[in-house]
């Protein structure tokens, strides 16, 4: 068997999550929007910044807010020599544990400095505010060394009068992960064949289960799988869900159906879209067939198949799903 090409691609996975803040975090973020910093007093008298909703010792709900200073001292720090795109500053900076004046518990934030040598435990720092605070922790753009705050991090902005806007009750939090995926030998072989319009699985030499996409080993037996099995593009609905909620960055508008499908000759299902039918008509045991993109659009991806559609064949009994030969189901 010829060695497949090495296939590697960058991916981004994630969405923007909207969360409710609750009264404690909401008060803290509302304060930041007004360029003020609030902590909360715990049962032992300590002031915690950012505020916690429940006491770390007694688990009782906390409610006594305390405004703390916008200056403080560095307790410990770590220098970032090469910032990444997602970092708050694009020049070298430090992540630091900062104990603000009036607080007993340190908070972590970034500190701007011209050089690592300027930093030291005990160094005094000052909050540097964003030009247009919105009620996020990033309203504190960074902290700057007190003696150099106006030169390295920008001029500290004074506290604002209360804006009169409604308190912050929810925030949008982007959660994204960028990663590179390099296919192993079995997945690369599978992707190379699907680029040719051929669906292939691999058979376990011990239990004889046929897996698609190919994994290179049997999850049940733990043995390597080498035997390749060419499969048809017909299969059976094993289970399904109707998606009714919009998914960020997904071009498919709800409602739509995602189904676990078992191809004829395979024993294990995979997930794909189901279309060309009323959502209410989809059912377990339904026979389906792939609808392919034009061949000129085929690449190394499962989305060479646009979706699966129902076909006029008898339903497969539940007990027979995953047990059909490659020749299909005759009813």
Q: Using an 8 Å Cβ cutoff, are 172 and 16 in contact? A: yes
3-state secondary structure 83-108: CCCCCCCCCCEEEEEEEECCCCECEE
Please report the pLDDT score of residue 151 as a whole number: 42
Please report the pLDDT score of residue 264 as a whole number: 96
| Assigned token pair, 180 | 């590179």
Please report the pLDDT score of residue 154 as a whole number: 47
Q: Using an 8 Å Cβ cutoff, are 287 and 236 in contact? A: yes
Strands lying side by side in the sheet with 227-231: 210-211, 199-203, 227-231
Give 206-262 pLDDT, tens digit per residue.
Answer: 999 999 998 899 988 999 999 999 999 999 999 999 999 887 677 888 999 999 999
Over pLDDT 90: what percentage of the chain?
74
End-to-end CA distance of the chain: 37
Mean pLDDT of 73-92: 94
Per the DSSP assignment, residues forming a β-bridge with 259 are 240, 272
What contacts 24+ positions apart, CB below 8 Å, involve 267-273?
A: 267/209, 267/210, 267/211, 267/322, 267/323, 268/209, 268/210, 268/211, 268/212, 268/322, 269/238, 269/239, 269/322, 270/212, 270/213, 270/302, 272/302, 272/305, 272/307, 272/308, 273/306, 273/307, 273/308
């Amino acid at each position: 068997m010829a060695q497949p090409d090495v296939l590697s691609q960058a991916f981004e996975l994630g969405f923007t999550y909207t969360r409710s803040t609750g009264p404690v975090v909401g008060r803290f973020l509302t304060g930041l929007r007004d360029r003020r910093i609030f902590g909360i007093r715990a049962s032992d008298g300590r002031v915690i910044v950012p505020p916690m909703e429940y006491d770390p010792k007694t688990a009782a709900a906390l409610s006594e807010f305390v405004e703390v200073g916008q200056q403080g001292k560095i307790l410990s720090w770590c220098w970032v020599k090469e910032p990444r795109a997602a970092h708050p500053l694009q020049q070298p900076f430090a992540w630091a544990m900062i104990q603000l004046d009036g607080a007993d518990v340190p908070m972590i934030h970034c500190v701007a400095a011209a050089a690592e040598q300027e930093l030291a435990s005990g160094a005094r720092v000052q909050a540097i505010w964003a030009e247009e605070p919105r009620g996020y922790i990033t309203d504190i753009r960074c902290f700057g060394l007190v003696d150099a705050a106006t030169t390295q991090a920008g001029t500290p902005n004074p506290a604002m009068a209360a804006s009169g806007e409604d308190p912050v009750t929810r925030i949008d939090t982007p959660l994204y992960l960028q990663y590179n995926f390099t296919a192993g030998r079995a997945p690369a072989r599978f992707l190379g064949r699907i680029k040719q319009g051929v669906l292939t699985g691999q058979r376990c030499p011990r239990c004889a289960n046929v897996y698609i996409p190919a994994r290179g080993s049997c999850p049940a037996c733990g043995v390597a799988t080498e035997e390749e099995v060419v499969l048809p593009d017909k299969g059976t609905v094993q289970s399904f869900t109707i998606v009714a909620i919009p998914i960020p960055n997904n071009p498919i508008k709800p409602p739509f159906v995602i189904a676990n499908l078992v191809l004829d000759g395979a024993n294990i299902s995979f997930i794909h879209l189901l279309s060309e039918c009323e959502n209410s008509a989809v059912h377990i045991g339904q026979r389906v067939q792939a609808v392919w993109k034009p061949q000129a659009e085929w690449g190394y991806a499962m989305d060479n198949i646009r979706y699966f559609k129902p076909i006029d064949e008898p339903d497969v009994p539940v007990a027979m799903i995953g047990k059909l030969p490659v020749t299909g189901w005759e009813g």
